[in-house]
């Protein structure tokens, strides 16, 4: 099934921003503000009063991190991670284009009255471009942060194919997902390792099961195709899909033919 660009971007944003409050990100956020305030780079030592300088760098560092996350997410939806050089060039150009006007406006707002920025917006663009280059290339060079390298791109077959939903599960419940079931505002996730409950919509949980092959058997149930072993009827004559762990999932008339085909081919 072809996934729309917007859905890819939304999924990528969800994945990327899951680490926004990680201890490492929070540490770098704080330390970067402190270093910038003390070092006073890019003329902020004479352009701004001390209090304005603190506010300026807090805003710039915070918005820079948030926008950097967003830019990486959008780039991941547009450019394959199997092409590291194109990925990073795209991210650097996008970050420079979007962040430069914002940084220039903020500097104008916080600078002392009657002063002029040396070099104007073009110098700001150069600064943003250099910093973006350092961040995205630096991430590529740190082992484990980004897949592949410029000299050894990751092969398409090596890219992770684990469903995004796995990341929401408790560690002890992680395993191949057999079925999903809506339960009010929650979704029950049954895996080969156990059962978990997530506060989300069933439609969103199904979307996060990509690329696992599965189908809905009922408006409140979804099953992995590989888990279905038979189609039987309960004591009241209603059809149910039997999974290899023994679970029985109701099958509505709308999905009966699809489940019959899967059970028959199995």
Instruction: Identify the CA nearest to 179 among candidates 232, 231, 244.
Output: 244
Same domain for 199 and 256, yes or no, is: yes
Q: Would you give the DSSP letter of residue 164? A: G
C-alpha separations of 130 from 16, 94, 141, 247 in Å: 23, 13, 16, 57
| Domain co-membership, 220 together with 197 | yes
Residues 107 and 147 in one domain: yes
Domain that holds residue 243: 164-265
Q: Which of 120, 127, 114 is nearest to 36 (CA)?
A: 127
What is the pLDDT at residue 172?
85
Contact status, residue 249 vs residue 243, Cβ threshold 8 Å: yes
Task: Give the number of domains in the chain.
Answer: 2
| Distance in angstroms (rounded) separating the CA atoms of residues 40 and 91 | 27
User: Along the chain (266 residues), what's the average pLDDT of each consecutive run of 10 residues?
Assistant: 60 70 87 94 90 96 95 87 90 97 94 77 93 93 80 60 84 89 94 92 90 90 92 86 92 87 68
CATH code (residue 213): 2.40.50.1020
How many Cα atoms occupy the beta-carbon half-sphere of 203 within 13 Å? 1
**Do residues 190 and 220 share a domain?**
yes
The predicted structure's pLDDT at residue 5: 67
So what's the pLDDT on residue 143?
Answer: 78
């Amino acid at each position: 099934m072809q996934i729309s660009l917007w859905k890819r971007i939304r999924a990528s944003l969800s994945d990327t921003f899951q680490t926004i409050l990680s201890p490492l990100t929070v540490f770098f956020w704080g330390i970067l503000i402190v270093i910038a305030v003390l070092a006073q780079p890019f003329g902020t030592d004479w352009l701004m009063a001390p209090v304005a300088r603190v506010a300026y760098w807090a805003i710039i560092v915070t918005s820079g991190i948030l926008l950097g996350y967003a830019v990486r997410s959008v780039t991941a939806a547009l450019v394959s991670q199997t092409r590291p050089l194109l990925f990073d060039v795209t991210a650097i150009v996008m970050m420079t284009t979007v962040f430069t006007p914002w940084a220039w406006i903020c500097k104008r707002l916080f600078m002392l009255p009657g002063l002029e920025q040396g070099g104007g917006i073009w110098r700001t663009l150069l600064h943003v471009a250099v910093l973006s280059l350092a961040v995205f290339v630096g991430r590529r060079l740190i082992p484990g942060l980004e897949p592949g390298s410029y000299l050894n791109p990751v092969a398409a077959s090596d890219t992770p194919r684990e469903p995004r939903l796995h990341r929401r599960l408790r560690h002890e419940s992680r395993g191949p997902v057999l079925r999903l079931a809506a339960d009010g505002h929650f979704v029950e996730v049954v895996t080969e390792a156990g059962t978990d409950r997530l506060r989300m919509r069933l439609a969103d949980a199904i979307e996060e099961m990509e690329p696992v092959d599965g189908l809905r058997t009922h408006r409140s149930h979804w099953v992995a195709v590989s888990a279905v072993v038979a189609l039987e009827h309960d004591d009241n004559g209603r059809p149910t899909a039997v999974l290899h762990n023994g679970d029985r999932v109701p099958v509505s008339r709308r999905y009966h033919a699809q489940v019959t085909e899967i059970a028959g081919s199995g």
